[in-house]
Protein backbone atom coordinates (compact mmCIF):
# COMPACT_ATOMS: atom_id res chain seq x y z
CA UNK A 1 0.00 0.00 0.00
CA UNK A 2 1.25 3.48 -0.84
CA UNK A 3 2.75 5.40 2.07
CA UNK A 4 0.90 8.71 2.27
CA UNK A 5 2.78 10.05 5.29
CA UNK A 6 4.18 13.51 4.66
CA UNK A 7 7.96 13.79 4.76
CA UNK A 8 9.09 15.85 7.71
CA UNK A 9 11.14 18.92 6.82
CA UNK A 10 12.88 21.65 8.78
CA UNK A 11 10.14 24.13 7.84
CA UNK A 12 7.68 22.02 9.85
CA UNK A 13 9.55 22.75 13.09
CA UNK A 14 10.71 25.80 15.00
CA UNK A 15 14.29 24.80 15.73
CA UNK A 16 15.15 21.32 14.48
CA UNK A 17 17.49 21.40 11.48
CA UNK A 18 17.40 19.18 8.40
CA UNK A 19 20.42 17.08 9.40
CA UNK A 20 18.86 16.16 12.75
CA UNK A 21 15.51 15.33 11.16
CA UNK A 22 17.28 12.92 8.84
CA UNK A 23 19.41 11.46 11.64
CA UNK A 24 17.86 11.86 15.14
CA UNK A 25 20.71 9.86 16.69
CA UNK A 26 23.15 12.56 15.59
CA UNK A 27 21.21 15.09 17.64
CA UNK A 28 21.09 12.83 20.70
CA UNK A 29 24.83 12.18 20.45
CA UNK A 30 25.58 15.89 20.17
CA UNK A 31 23.17 16.78 22.96
CA UNK A 32 24.16 14.23 25.61
CA UNK A 33 27.88 14.34 24.80
CA UNK A 34 28.32 18.11 24.41
CA UNK A 35 25.33 19.88 25.99
CA UNK A 36 24.34 18.12 29.21
CA UNK A 37 23.82 14.85 31.08
CA UNK A 38 20.49 13.16 31.82
CA UNK A 39 20.88 14.08 35.49
CA UNK A 40 21.15 17.79 34.77
CA UNK A 41 18.45 17.63 32.09
CA UNK A 42 15.95 16.21 34.59
CA UNK A 43 16.87 18.92 37.10
CA UNK A 44 16.44 21.61 34.41
CA UNK A 45 12.95 20.29 33.56
CA UNK A 46 12.00 20.31 37.23
CA UNK A 47 13.31 23.87 37.70
CA UNK A 48 11.47 25.12 34.60
CA UNK A 49 8.12 23.68 35.73
CA UNK A 50 8.64 25.04 39.25
CA UNK A 51 9.55 28.52 38.00
CA UNK A 52 6.60 28.63 35.59
CA UNK A 53 4.20 27.45 38.33
CA UNK A 54 5.43 29.75 41.10
CA UNK A 55 7.45 32.92 40.45
CA UNK A 56 9.06 32.66 43.91
CA UNK A 57 10.73 29.42 42.79
CA UNK A 58 12.45 31.07 39.82
CA UNK A 59 16.19 31.42 40.27
CA UNK A 60 17.67 34.70 38.96
CA UNK A 61 20.69 32.72 37.75
CA UNK A 62 18.81 30.21 35.59
CA UNK A 63 19.12 30.07 31.81
CA UNK A 64 15.42 29.51 31.42
CA UNK A 65 15.02 30.81 27.87
CA UNK A 66 17.88 28.72 26.50
CA UNK A 67 16.75 25.63 28.45
CA UNK A 68 13.18 26.04 27.17
CA UNK A 69 14.43 26.24 23.59
CA UNK A 70 16.43 23.04 24.06
CA UNK A 71 13.39 21.35 25.59
CA UNK A 72 11.32 22.31 22.54
CA UNK A 73 14.03 20.82 20.31
CA UNK A 74 13.86 17.55 22.27
CA UNK A 75 10.08 17.42 21.86
CA UNK A 76 10.47 18.06 18.11
CA UNK A 77 13.07 15.29 17.91
CA UNK A 78 10.75 12.89 19.76
CA UNK A 79 8.02 13.72 17.24
CA UNK A 80 10.41 12.83 14.40
CA UNK A 81 11.10 9.48 16.08
CA UNK A 82 7.35 8.93 16.56
CA UNK A 83 6.77 9.37 12.83
CA UNK A 84 9.92 7.64 11.58
CA UNK A 85 9.23 4.56 13.69
CA UNK A 86 5.49 4.63 13.02
CA UNK A 87 4.67 4.40 16.73
CA UNK A 88 1.07 3.89 17.82
CA UNK A 89 -0.88 6.21 20.09
CA UNK A 90 -1.99 4.94 23.53
CA UNK A 91 -5.60 5.03 24.72
CA UNK A 92 -4.76 5.93 28.35
CA UNK A 93 -1.50 7.92 28.27
CA UNK A 94 -1.59 8.78 32.00
CA UNK A 95 -1.93 5.13 33.02
CA UNK A 96 1.78 4.88 33.87
CA UNK A 97 1.98 1.57 35.71
CA UNK A 98 0.13 -1.48 34.39
CA UNK A 99 1.66 -3.84 36.95
CA UNK A 100 3.80 -3.79 40.11
CA UNK A 101 7.02 -4.45 38.22
CA UNK A 102 6.46 -1.31 36.11
CA UNK A 103 6.35 0.75 39.28
CA UNK A 104 9.43 -0.80 40.91
CA UNK A 105 11.47 -0.67 37.69
CA UNK A 106 10.69 3.04 37.41
CA UNK A 107 11.52 4.03 40.99
CA UNK A 108 14.67 1.89 41.11
CA UNK A 109 16.53 4.26 38.81
CA UNK A 110 15.68 5.83 35.46
CA UNK A 111 14.20 2.67 33.95
CA UNK A 112 11.03 3.07 31.86
CA UNK A 113 9.39 -0.30 31.30
CA UNK A 114 6.16 -1.97 30.31
CA UNK A 115 5.69 -5.46 31.75
CA UNK A 116 9.43 -5.74 32.47
CA UNK A 117 10.45 -4.71 28.95
CA UNK A 118 12.41 -1.48 28.63
CA UNK A 119 10.44 0.60 26.18
CA UNK A 120 11.42 4.17 25.33
CA UNK A 121 9.08 4.01 22.33
CA UNK A 122 6.15 3.48 24.69
CA UNK A 123 6.96 6.73 26.49
CA UNK A 124 7.27 8.66 23.21
CA UNK A 125 3.86 7.29 22.18
CA UNK A 126 2.49 8.20 25.61
CA UNK A 127 3.83 11.74 25.32
CA UNK A 128 2.07 12.49 22.03
CA UNK A 129 -1.04 10.55 23.01
CA UNK A 130 -1.57 12.99 25.86
CA UNK A 131 -1.14 16.05 23.63
CA UNK A 132 -0.38 16.77 19.98
CA UNK A 133 2.81 18.50 18.87
CA UNK A 134 0.92 21.78 18.51
CA UNK A 135 -0.47 21.49 22.04
CA UNK A 136 3.00 20.75 23.43
CA UNK A 137 4.28 23.89 21.69
CA UNK A 138 1.60 25.86 23.55
CA UNK A 139 2.49 24.27 26.91
CA UNK A 140 6.21 24.94 26.45
CA UNK A 141 5.49 28.51 25.37
CA UNK A 142 3.53 28.91 28.59
CA UNK A 143 6.57 27.80 30.57
CA UNK A 144 8.72 30.49 28.96
CA UNK A 145 6.07 33.21 29.23
CA UNK A 146 5.22 32.50 32.86
CA UNK A 147 8.85 32.48 33.93
CA UNK A 148 9.05 36.10 32.74
CA UNK A 149 5.48 37.24 33.58
CA UNK A 150 5.06 37.32 37.32
CA UNK A 151 1.25 37.53 37.00
CA UNK A 152 0.86 34.59 34.63
CA UNK A 153 -0.98 31.35 35.39
CA UNK A 154 0.86 28.29 34.08
CA UNK A 155 -1.67 25.74 32.75
CA UNK A 156 -4.41 27.63 34.58
CA UNK A 157 -2.75 26.82 37.93
CA UNK A 158 -4.36 23.36 37.75
CA UNK A 159 -2.14 21.11 39.85
CA UNK A 160 -2.97 17.83 38.11
CA UNK A 161 -2.11 19.30 34.69
CA UNK A 162 1.19 20.71 35.95
CA UNK A 163 2.18 17.40 37.55
CA UNK A 164 1.25 15.43 34.41
CA UNK A 165 3.27 17.83 32.25
CA UNK A 166 6.36 17.49 34.45
CA UNK A 167 6.09 13.70 34.60
CA UNK A 168 5.66 13.33 30.84
CA UNK A 169 8.56 15.68 30.06
CA UNK A 170 10.88 13.86 32.45
CA UNK A 171 9.85 10.45 31.11
CA UNK A 172 10.44 11.70 27.57
CA UNK A 173 13.93 12.89 28.54
CA UNK A 174 14.77 9.51 30.11
CA UNK A 175 13.47 7.70 27.01
CA UNK A 176 15.54 9.83 24.63
CA UNK A 177 18.61 9.18 26.79
CA UNK A 178 17.86 5.45 26.64
CA UNK A 179 17.78 5.67 22.82
CA UNK A 180 21.12 7.51 22.95
CA UNK A 181 22.59 4.71 25.11
CA UNK A 182 21.21 2.02 22.80
CA UNK A 183 22.65 3.82 19.75
CA UNK A 184 19.57 2.88 17.71
CA UNK A 185 16.03 4.06 17.14
CA UNK A 186 13.11 1.94 18.40
CA UNK A 187 11.90 -0.88 16.16
CA UNK A 188 9.17 0.16 13.76
CA UNK A 189 5.67 -1.26 14.14
CA UNK A 190 4.83 -4.24 11.87
CA UNK A 191 4.58 -3.46 8.18
CA UNK A 192 0.93 -4.44 8.05
CA UNK A 193 -0.06 -1.83 10.65
CA UNK A 194 -1.49 0.48 7.99
CA UNK A 195 -3.71 -2.26 6.60
CA UNK A 196 -4.90 -3.18 10.12
CA UNK A 197 -5.68 0.42 10.96
CA UNK A 198 -7.53 0.90 7.66
CA UNK A 199 -9.63 -2.20 8.35
CA UNK A 200 -10.46 -0.97 11.85
CA UNK A 201 -11.30 2.41 10.40
CA UNK A 202 -13.69 0.87 7.87
CA UNK A 203 -15.40 -1.13 10.64
CA UNK A 204 -16.04 2.09 12.56
CA UNK A 205 -17.07 4.28 9.60
CA UNK A 206 -20.85 3.95 9.91
CA UNK A 207 -20.74 4.40 13.69
CA UNK A 208 -18.59 7.53 13.43
CA UNK A 209 -20.84 8.99 10.74
CA UNK A 210 -23.88 8.41 12.96
CA UNK A 211 -22.20 9.96 16.00
CA UNK A 212 -21.07 13.00 13.99
CA UNK A 213 -24.72 13.74 13.20
CA UNK A 214 -25.61 13.70 16.91
CA UNK A 215 -22.84 15.94 18.23
CA UNK A 216 -20.18 18.27 16.95
CA UNK A 217 -16.86 16.45 17.25
CA UNK A 218 -13.72 18.19 18.43
CA UNK A 219 -10.74 17.97 16.06
CA UNK A 220 -8.59 14.87 16.54
CA UNK A 221 -4.92 14.96 17.53
CA UNK A 222 -4.00 14.09 13.94
CA UNK A 223 -5.92 17.10 12.65
CA UNK A 224 -4.28 19.36 15.23
CA UNK A 225 -0.84 18.09 14.24
CA UNK A 226 -1.68 18.53 10.57
CA UNK A 227 -2.12 22.22 11.30
CA UNK A 228 1.55 22.22 12.32
CA UNK A 229 2.85 20.04 9.48
CA UNK A 230 0.74 21.19 6.54
CA UNK A 231 2.31 24.37 5.09
CA UNK A 232 -1.07 25.49 3.74
CA UNK A 233 -2.37 25.72 7.30
CA UNK A 234 0.66 27.44 8.81
CA UNK A 235 0.53 31.05 9.96
CA UNK A 236 2.23 33.26 7.41
CA UNK A 237 4.88 35.37 9.13
CA UNK A 238 5.64 38.95 8.05
CA UNK A 239 8.13 38.88 5.20
CA UNK A 240 10.97 40.18 7.33
CA UNK A 241 10.54 37.54 10.06
CA UNK A 242 10.48 34.63 7.62
CA UNK A 243 13.87 32.92 7.14
CA UNK A 244 15.32 34.12 3.85
CA UNK A 245 18.53 34.63 1.94
CA UNK A 246 20.59 37.78 2.21
CA UNK A 247 19.80 40.65 -0.15
CA UNK A 248 19.88 44.45 -0.15
CA UNK A 249 16.10 44.55 -0.44
CA UNK A 250 15.74 42.47 2.74
CA UNK A 251 18.01 44.90 4.62
CA UNK A 252 15.86 47.79 3.38
CA UNK A 253 12.74 45.97 4.61
CA UNK A 254 14.34 45.80 8.05
CA UNK A 255 14.60 49.60 8.12
CA UNK A 256 11.05 49.98 6.82
CA UNK A 257 9.94 48.73 10.23
CA UNK A 258 11.93 51.53 11.94
CA UNK A 259 14.65 53.95 10.89
CA UNK A 260 18.22 53.73 12.18
CA UNK A 261 17.64 56.07 15.11
CA UNK A 262 14.46 54.20 16.05
CA UNK A 263 16.33 50.89 16.15
CA UNK A 264 19.08 52.46 18.26
CA UNK A 265 16.50 53.73 20.74
CA UNK A 266 14.86 50.32 21.05
CA UNK A 267 18.18 48.53 21.52
CA UNK A 268 19.49 51.12 23.98
CA UNK A 269 16.38 50.75 26.15
CA UNK A 270 16.59 46.96 25.85
CA UNK A 271 20.19 47.13 27.07
CA UNK A 272 19.23 49.36 30.00
CA UNK A 273 16.54 46.97 31.19
CA UNK A 274 18.97 44.05 30.94
CA UNK A 275 21.65 45.61 33.15
CA UNK A 276 19.43 47.64 35.51
CA UNK A 277 17.59 46.11 38.45
CA UNK A 278 13.85 46.86 38.80
CA UNK A 279 13.65 48.35 35.28
CA UNK A 280 11.98 46.12 32.72
CA UNK A 281 9.75 46.10 29.65
CA UNK A 282 6.11 45.98 30.73
CA UNK A 283 2.62 46.91 29.61
CA UNK A 284 2.60 49.27 32.62
CA UNK A 285 5.47 51.35 31.25
CA UNK A 286 4.45 54.96 30.68
CA UNK A 287 5.88 54.79 27.16
CA UNK A 288 3.69 52.31 25.25
CA UNK A 289 6.52 51.67 22.81
CA UNK A 290 8.32 49.73 25.52
CA UNK A 291 5.61 47.17 26.18
CA UNK A 292 6.54 43.50 26.42
CA UNK A 293 4.88 42.86 23.04
CA UNK A 294 7.09 45.46 21.36
CA UNK A 295 10.18 43.90 22.94
CA UNK A 296 9.24 40.46 21.62
CA UNK A 297 8.85 41.89 18.13
CA UNK A 298 12.18 43.74 18.43
CA UNK A 299 13.81 40.51 19.56
CA UNK A 300 12.31 38.62 16.60
CA UNK A 301 13.61 41.17 14.10
CA UNK A 302 17.13 41.27 15.57
CA UNK A 303 17.20 37.46 15.73
CA UNK A 304 16.16 37.22 12.06
CA UNK A 305 18.74 39.81 11.02
CA UNK A 306 21.57 37.96 12.78
CA UNK A 307 20.38 34.60 11.44
CA UNK A 308 20.37 35.91 7.87
CA UNK A 309 23.82 37.51 8.21
CA UNK A 310 25.24 34.37 9.85
CA UNK A 311 23.99 32.32 6.90
CA UNK A 312 25.52 34.87 4.52
CA UNK A 313 28.79 34.52 6.44
CA UNK A 314 28.81 30.77 5.84
CA UNK A 315 28.55 31.46 2.10
CA UNK A 316 31.30 34.13 2.23
CA UNK A 317 33.89 33.05 4.84
CA UNK A 318 36.07 35.81 6.30
CA UNK A 319 38.66 36.03 9.04
CA UNK A 320 37.47 36.13 12.64
CA UNK A 321 37.67 39.36 14.59
CA UNK A 322 40.46 39.09 17.15
CA UNK A 323 39.09 40.52 20.41
CA UNK A 324 40.71 39.79 23.76
CA UNK A 325 38.28 38.16 26.23
CA UNK A 326 39.21 40.80 28.82
CA UNK A 327 37.98 43.65 26.62
CA UNK A 328 34.46 44.59 27.75
CA UNK A 329 33.89 47.55 25.41
CA UNK A 330 34.66 48.23 21.76
CA UNK A 331 37.67 50.36 20.86
CA UNK A 332 36.71 54.03 20.58
CA UNK A 333 36.05 55.35 17.05
CA UNK A 334 35.67 58.91 15.83
CA UNK A 335 31.95 59.44 15.18
CA UNK A 336 30.81 59.85 11.57
CA UNK A 337 28.02 62.12 10.34
CA UNK A 338 25.98 61.15 7.28
CA UNK A 339 22.93 62.52 5.51
CA UNK A 340 20.13 60.34 4.15
CA UNK A 341 16.70 61.46 2.97
CA UNK A 342 17.39 64.99 4.27
CA UNK A 343 18.15 63.71 7.77
CA UNK A 344 21.50 63.92 9.55
CA UNK A 345 22.48 60.66 11.24
CA UNK A 346 25.39 59.88 13.57
CA UNK A 347 27.37 56.64 13.28
CA UNK A 348 29.24 55.95 16.52
CA UNK A 349 31.09 52.67 16.08
CA UNK A 350 32.29 52.56 12.46
CA UNK A 351 35.92 53.34 11.61
CA UNK A 352 37.08 55.08 8.43
CA UNK A 353 38.41 51.76 7.12
CA UNK A 354 35.08 50.00 7.77
CA UNK A 355 33.25 52.87 6.10
CA UNK A 356 34.89 51.88 2.82
CA UNK A 357 34.00 48.17 3.15
CA UNK A 358 30.62 48.07 4.90
CA UNK A 359 29.50 44.55 3.88
CA UNK A 360 32.69 42.73 4.86
CA UNK A 361 32.83 44.81 8.06
CA UNK A 362 29.20 43.91 8.78
CA UNK A 363 29.87 40.18 8.42
CA UNK A 364 33.06 40.42 10.48
CA UNK A 365 31.18 42.18 13.27
CA UNK A 366 28.43 39.55 13.28
CA UNK A 367 31.19 36.95 13.50
CA UNK A 368 32.30 38.36 16.86
CA UNK A 369 30.04 35.64 18.26
CA UNK A 370 28.90 32.38 16.71
CA UNK A 371 25.25 31.96 15.77
CA UNK A 372 24.75 29.71 18.80
CA UNK A 373 26.31 32.34 21.08
CA UNK A 374 24.05 35.03 19.61
CA UNK A 375 21.07 32.75 20.29
CA UNK A 376 22.15 32.36 23.91
CA UNK A 377 22.78 36.10 24.32
CA UNK A 378 19.43 37.15 22.88
CA UNK A 379 17.53 34.57 24.93
CA UNK A 380 19.28 35.77 28.09
CA UNK A 381 18.62 39.40 27.23
CA UNK A 382 14.93 38.95 26.54
CA UNK A 383 14.47 37.04 29.81
CA UNK A 384 16.16 39.71 31.90
CA UNK A 385 14.50 42.56 30.01
CA UNK A 386 11.15 41.14 31.14
CA UNK A 387 12.37 40.55 34.68
CA UNK A 388 13.14 42.84 37.60
CA UNK A 389 16.56 41.27 38.13
CA UNK A 390 19.83 42.55 36.72
CA UNK A 391 21.52 40.30 34.12
CA UNK A 392 23.94 37.84 35.75
CA UNK A 393 24.32 35.32 32.93
CA UNK A 394 27.39 33.94 31.17
CA UNK A 395 27.92 37.12 29.14
CA UNK A 396 27.15 39.63 31.91
CA UNK A 397 30.75 40.91 32.04
CA UNK A 398 30.46 41.89 28.38
CA UNK A 399 26.97 43.41 28.33
CA UNK A 400 28.26 46.80 27.19
CA UNK A 401 30.35 45.29 24.41
CA UNK A 402 27.37 43.22 23.25
CA UNK A 403 25.19 46.34 23.22
CA UNK A 404 27.82 48.27 21.25
CA UNK A 405 28.27 45.36 18.83
CA UNK A 406 24.54 45.19 18.08
CA UNK A 407 24.45 48.96 17.50
CA UNK A 408 27.45 48.62 15.19
CA UNK A 409 25.73 45.83 13.24
CA UNK A 410 22.66 48.03 12.78
CA UNK A 411 24.80 50.97 11.64
CA UNK A 412 26.73 48.85 9.12
CA UNK A 413 23.52 47.22 7.87
CA UNK A 414 22.12 50.70 7.26
CA UNK A 415 25.23 51.68 5.28
CA UNK A 416 25.01 48.53 3.17
CA UNK A 417 21.28 48.97 2.52
CA UNK A 418 21.49 52.62 1.43
CA UNK A 419 25.11 52.99 0.28
CA UNK A 420 24.08 54.68 -2.99
CA UNK A 421 21.84 57.21 -1.22
CA UNK A 422 24.08 58.36 1.65
CA UNK A 423 26.23 61.52 1.74
CA UNK A 424 29.22 61.71 4.07
CA UNK A 425 29.34 64.95 6.10
CA UNK A 426 31.76 66.64 8.54
CA UNK A 427 32.92 64.13 11.18
CA UNK A 428 34.46 66.55 13.70
CA UNK A 429 31.49 68.08 15.58
CA UNK A 430 29.67 65.08 17.00
CA UNK A 431 29.08 64.38 20.71
CA UNK A 432 30.07 60.99 22.20
CA UNK A 433 27.44 58.24 22.52
CA UNK A 434 26.13 57.35 25.99
CA UNK A 435 26.48 53.61 26.60
CA UNK A 436 23.83 53.46 29.31
CA UNK A 437 26.23 52.84 32.22
| pLDDT tens-digit map of 63-72 | 666 788 889 9
The answer to whether the beta carbons of residues 313 and 363 sit under 8 Å apart is yes
Please indicate, yes or no, whether the overall pTM of this predicted structure exceeds 0.85: no
Q: Mean pLDDT throughout 60-65?
A: 62
What is the distance between the alpha carbons of residues 78 and 177, in angstroms, rounded to a whole number? 11
Most confident option among 247-256, 291-300, 330-339: 247-256
- Lowest pLDDT segment from 72-81, 164-173, 185-194, 293-302: 185-194
Judged on CB neighbours under 10 Å (0-12, 13-18, 19+), 68 is buried
Is residue 224 over pLDDT 70? no
Q: Which residues contact 75 (CB under 8 A, 6 or more apart)?
A: 127, 133, 136, 137, 140, 172
Is residue 48 over pLDDT 50? yes
Give the confidence band of 397 by pLDDT, cuts at 50, 70, 90.
Answer: confident
What is the distance between the alpha carbons of residues 239 and 254, in angstroms, rounded to a whole number? 10
CA 118 to chain centre: 32
Beta bridge partners of residue 347, listed in sequence order: 336
Q: Could you tell me which residue, 331 or 50, shows the higher pLDDT?
A: 50
Is residue 86 over pLDDT 50? yes
User: How high is the pLDDT of residue 190?
Assistant: 36
User: How high is the pLDDT of residue 393?
Assistant: 83
Judged on CB neighbours under 10 Å (0-12, 13-18, 19+), 236 is exposed
User: How high is the pLDDT of residue 353?
Assistant: 83
What is the distance between the alpha carbons of residues 362 and 410, in angstroms, rounded to a whole number? 9
Q: Could you tell me which residue, 65 or 400, shows the higher pLDDT?
A: 400
Least Cα distance to 13 among 73, 70, 71, 66 occurs for 73
What is the distance between the alpha carbons of residues 51 and 236, in angstroms, rounded to a whole number? 32
What is the distance between the alpha carbons of residues 252 and 414, in angstroms, rounded to a whole number? 8
User: How high is the pLDDT of residue 415?
Assistant: 93
Is residue 53 over pLDDT 70? yes
Among positive and negative, which fits the CA dihedral 37, 38, 41, 42?
A: negative
The answer to whether the beta carbons of residues 305 and 267 sit under 8 Å apart is no
Is residue 26 over pLDDT 90? yes
Least Cα distance to 405 among 357, 358, 355, 348 occurs for 348
Most confident option among 161-165, 170-174, 231-235: 170-174
User: How high is the pLDDT of residue 64?
Assistant: 66
Instruction: Give CA angle at 435 (432, 362), nearest 5°.
Output: 85
Is residue 214 over pLDDT 50? no
Q: Mean pLDDT throughout 377-387?
A: 87
The answer to whether the beta carbons of residues 242 and 308 sit under 8 Å apart is no
The answer to whether the beta carbons of residues 180 and 25 sit under 8 Å apart is yes
What is the distance between the alpha carbons of residues 84 and 348, in angstroms, rounded to a whole number? 52
Q: What is the pLDDT of residues 244-290, one digit of tens each?
A: 788 898 888 888 877 888 899 889 989 988 888 877 777 566 666 66
Is residue 115 over pLDDT 60? no
Most confident option among 7-21, 131-145, 152-166, 356-370: 356-370
Compute the chain's Rg from CA coordinates. 25
User: How high is the pLDDT of residue 46?
Assistant: 87
Q: Could you tell me which residue, 215 or 106, shows the higher pLDDT?
A: 106
Give the confidence band of 387 by pLDDT, cuts at 50, 70, 90.
Answer: confident
Across the chain, mean pLDDT equals 75
Amino acid sequence: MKNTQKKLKAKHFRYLSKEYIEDPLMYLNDFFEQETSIRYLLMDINLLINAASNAKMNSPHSHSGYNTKKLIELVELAYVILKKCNLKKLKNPLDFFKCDSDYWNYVSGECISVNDIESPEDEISRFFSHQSLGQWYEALDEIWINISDRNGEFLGNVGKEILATRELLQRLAISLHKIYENKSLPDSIANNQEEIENKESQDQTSLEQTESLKTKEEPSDDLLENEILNPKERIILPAWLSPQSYSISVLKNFFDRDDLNGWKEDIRYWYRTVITENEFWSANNENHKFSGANLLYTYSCIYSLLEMLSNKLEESPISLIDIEPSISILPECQSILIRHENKKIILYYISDEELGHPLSSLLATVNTYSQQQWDEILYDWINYALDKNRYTGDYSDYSTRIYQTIIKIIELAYLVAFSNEIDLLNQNQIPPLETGR
